[in-house]
Structures are given as structure tokens and as C-alpha cells.
Amino acid sequence: MPQRIARRLALLLVSSALLLPGLAPQAQALSLHGHCTKSGYNAGFTTYYRESHSYNYIGLFTWDLRTTKHKLNNKSNIEIKQKWDKRFAKDPTVFHWKSGDNVHRGAGSHRPRHEIRIGIEHSTYSWYKAIFDRPHAKDPRCSTNTTRT
């Protein structure tokens, strides 16, 4: 009889911890990465997300624009699409954002107004495009996909 009560009490405590946010373990921040290069211009991209119950919540996109050979002006552009990986069909876009002509050399970020919620049963990835603002010449561009969840 005492073992049955102890098991029920343990089950009640575990259930309470899952229902009470203050007692539940915190979601760990995870990330997806991608990189592209064009004509001496380099872009690195990271998408940050967290797992919670049966969803992934995407909350931050970052980039880092660099060049080793050329000048880079302050009017570059970034485009971001968050997609589901449908494997053998067209991957639907669940989020799309384009910067203005105001992206500077170095690190930058975009935080969506609301986290993007995607069921964990779906593999997801980010597609990024960088257009580098090169003075007095055609602007090079590159795009890449991040790793998948």
C-alpha cells in the first residue's frame, strides 16, 4: 500500500511540473546554419529556434556580411524564407521577409513580430539571400539553405 501511494505522489509531482511553467524545464535554444560566397563576398546565416512540446518556435534570424577583397557599402539586402521540407513536393513558405536597402557590413538580425510555429513532425529550414552593395559595380548576390531540423 505505501508503494502505491508513493508512485501516485511521484506521478502527481511530475504532472504538476509539466503543467506549471515555473517548475517545467526551460526550452533550449537551437540553431540552423548556412553560408554562401560570391566574388569575394561572404555571408553567414543562423536561424534560432526552440523546441516546446510538439512545435518548433523560430524567433530570430541573423547574418554576417564580410568581404576580404572589396569595399562593401551600407545598402546591402537580405531576404529570408522559412520553409517546410516536403521532400518530393514543392516546399511551402511559412514566413517571408525582405530588408530595405539598409543592411551594413558585419552582423545584423531580424526578429519576427511573432515566433513562427512549426509542428515538429515537419522538417524545416531557412532560405537566405544576400545582395552585397558594391560601389560603382553590379551587386553580387548569393543564396543558401540552412541545415534542417
* Domain count for the chain: 1
pLDDT of 125 strictly over 50:
yes
Identify the pLDDT of residue 69: 79
Output the pTM of the full model: 0.79
pLDDT of 6 strictly over 60:
no
93-98 and 77-84 as β-strands: parallel, antiparallel, unpaired? antiparallel
Residue 2 forms part of a structural domain: no
Task: Please spell the DSSP secondary structure of 130-144, one letter per residue.
Answer: EE---TTSPPPEEEE
Region 62-69: what's the mean pLDDT?
93
Q: To the nearest whole percent, how much of the chain has pLDDT over 70?
A: 81
Q: Which residue has the cell 521532400?
A: 87
Residue 96 forms part of a structural domain: yes
**Cα–Cα distance between 134 and 33 in angstroms, integer?**
25
pLDDT of 118 strictly over 70:
yes
Q: To the nearest whole percent, how much of the chain has pLDDT over 90?
A: 73
More confident site: 29 or 83? 83
Identify the pLDDT of residue 28: 65
Region 44-60: what's the mean pLDDT?
96
Q: What is the CATH number of the domain that holds 64?
A: 2.60.40
pLDDT of 4 strictly over 90:
no
Domain holding 86, by residue range, is 27-145
